[in-house]
Amino acid sequence: MNTIKNLHVHSTAAPNSLKAAVGSSLNCYTRKHCVACKLGDIHLSQFERLGKRRVLRKGEQLFRQGDTFQSLFVVQSGSVKSSVVGDDGEEQITGFHFPGDMLSVDGMDSGQQTYSAEALETTSICEFAFRDFERISESMPDLKSQFFKVMGKELSREKKRMLVLGRMRAEQRLATFILDTSRELRSRGQANDSLTFSMTRQDIANYLGLAVETVSRLLSQFAATDLVRVQRRSLEVLDRPNLENLAQGFQPTAQLIARSA
Amino acid sequence: MNTIKNLHVHSTAAPNSLKAAVGSSLNCYTRKHCVACKLGDIHLSQFERLGKRRVLRKGEQLFRQGDTFQSLFVVQSGSVKSSVVGDDGEEQITGFHFPGDMLSVDGMDSGQQTYSAEALETTSICEFAFRDFERISESMPDLKSQFFKVMGKELSREKKRMLVLGRMRAEQRLATFILDTSRELRSRGQANDSLTFSMTRQDIANYLGLAVETVSRLLSQFAATDLVRVQRRSLEVLDRPNLENLAQGFQPTAQLIARSA
DNA sequence: GAATGGAATTGACGCAAATCAACTAAACCC
DNA sequence: GGGTTTAGTTGATTTGCGTCAATTCCATTC
């Protein structure tokens, strides 16, 4: 929920077109869905040549906090988690990233990666050297403006996350997470109300600032009140309205209470 | 802690030079301390002409979440808090901003302000029309690159804040806040270990995701163990090492325990 | 198909911090 | 100067969630 999203302007990406794009190493997923999409074809192909494809297996790291910043990455398929660690070694997952999301932009400032990124499953990534990006963007002023928008979006997303971490109770956090993730995956062509998590409960808990047990208990409770159906890593949203109520801190409706009794 | 900081390259700004800069409406604070600082003098004056000065009294809002985005703002003197509100009306303070900080950059994406900004005391602000910024930056490619850095820094700062809100206990949060604020104000020329808050306890509590009472109690406790000296809104750091230990979740040292007994 | 290990669930318990409540101290205003 | 308001402190009580512990459920691997 926490990266540069919607680089792609056409959010109606069908899952098929996704697969197709990933299949070809030249025809990077970026082509249709990301930063450069609004630019002319000549520039586009110029930009595209720079992308280098890379495949990570589950658990492999794309980069680590502190690494030298030299590339921008775009997720093509699979999923990635990003996290920061404090001085004391405590780790906080800052976001989950799906196809079309861009990673590592904040490194531009310090020249260092400010967080770590790790594949949650087999994942393919498109890598661009930042130097090339800068060179190319000289002849494409629009490109930089696109990036402003992208970073602005990320900034506002992170602000919303503070609301989650700072003010919400456990129930609200989890409900919000489910709804956000559902929306996120839906915009990438997944089925309407069902989604499959690539992350563990532990990851979810960490992301939400909760204990694993709390997440587990709440999921069971959500299932018991027919808000969702859960089975292992796959989840189906059954009662979106009440899930939204919950996310906003309202009481579940009377109907719901009756049902759970 | 939570905006575009260190736009200024010369972080050795003395308090005098600050006042001087603010005194003149043409010689915007930006001149010496922010975005345009690395650019040539010709460009600089060109950029500077665009700035419009504005003064807010305590409690007045600079802009509100949802307002049309059309300007970038730089704090010249005073201080500002920014906050987001959720669907349910819950408010979360996302940052405090001091001279040299830039506000409202994330609006570039959506064309709307993604948060609200309010003066904590009498505050003067320099406002630039975004349109002018875009026009000027065409002839100054460096300007945009500067902005990338600035936004990258903000992004990584927000990630660190997730660590605070997601993983830290109350003690750690407050200790971190004190140390961060102290560093922040020191870099703007305030005295070494003493600082004066422009925000209420309530603001601090909200910012840290805690209740006012908790903040109050902890401050008293910090004072009782000689970590700090507090009097109303002014605070003096007495024992930085142990405050840092606390911030990192370590136990206070034996010495400290003895002292508190 | 049995064995190993990690992920997830469930229950019992304790604690950190929220909430509720009473009081004090500044700041503000006529 | 006295009365009102708002900010801040401190104490008593409650509670949501974390921690600890025990099981169960799957996924691997031999």
Say what the pTM is.
0.85
In 3-state terms, what secondary structure has residue B143? helix
Q: Which residues of chain B have pLDDT under 50?
A: 5-42, 254-261
pLDDT at site A186:
85
Is the shortest CB-to-strand distance from B39 to strand D under 7 Å? no
Report the Cα–Cα distance between both ends of chain A, in Å, rounded. 34
What are the per-10-residue average pLDDT scores of chain A (261 residues)? 45 33 40 45 56 90 93 91 91 94 85 94 90 80 79 91 96 97 85 89 97 97 95 94 92 51 40
Contact between chains at A167 and B134 (C-beta distance less than 8 A): no
Which neighbouring-strand residues pair with A137? Answer: none
pLDDT at B4: 52
Q: Which nucleotides of D are covered by protein (CB under 7 A)?
A: 7-12, 16-21, 26-27
pLDDT at B31: 44
Nucleotides of C under 7 A from a protein CB: 7-12, 16-21, 26-27
Q: Which SS3 state, helix, strand or coil, does residue B76 take?
A: strand
List domains and CATH numbers for chain B.
14-153 (2.60.120.10), 165-259 (1.10.10.10)
Q: What pLDDT is stored for residue B47 in this prediction?
A: 58
Instruction: List, for residues A142-159, the tens digit of each pLDDT value.
Output: 777 778 888 888 999 999
Distance from CA of A166 to the nearest CA of B (A): 4
The whole-number pLDDT of residue B114 equals 94
Helix (H) or strand (E) holding B97: strand B91-97
- 3-state SS of chain B: helix, strand, coil percent to 5? 45, 20, 35
pLDDT at A87: 85
